[in-house]
Amino acid sequence: MGFMDKAKQLGDQAKQLADQAQKKIDEKQTQFNESQRQKAEGQAGANAPAEPQAEATPAEAPPAEAPPAAEAPPPSGQPPAEQSNATPDPFKPIQ
């Protein structure tokens, strides 16, 4: 048997084994999906309420208006002071 014949035979064997493995994977996936579907159906029936419930009323009504925010100081006409090293530029020379 020549080298090419042996390579072809091994290739065919590999293809057969791959097909068998794929069939097993498909079978297990189908079983898993079926069990998940059955669990979901069982839980859906168990979670269904026996009778509709009235909507829960809040214990405390929210305030009509929000409290006033802290007042900002009046503008002084000057630009705001720069914050030192708020976001420093790594390429700016040190002065």
- Domains of the chain by residue range: 9-44
pTM: 0.41
Residue 20 has pLDDT above 60, yes or no: yes
28-83 residue pLDDT tens: 999 999 999 999 888 876 665 555 565 555 566 655 676 666 666 666 666 556 55
**Closest Cα partner for 27 from 16, 19, 37?**
19
Residue 4 has pLDDT above 60, yes or no: yes
Q: Which amino acid is at 72?
A: A
What pLDDT does residue 8 have? 95
What pLDDT does residue 62 have? 59
Q: Is 73 helix (H, G, I), strand (E, B) or coil?
A: coil
Average pLDDT of the residues in 83-88: 66
What pLDDT does residue 47 have? 61
Q: Which amino acid is at 12?
A: D
What pLDDT does residue 41 have? 87
* Helices and strands (H, E) in the chain, number of each type: 1, 0
Q: Which amino acid is at 74?
A: P
State the DSSP code for 14.
H
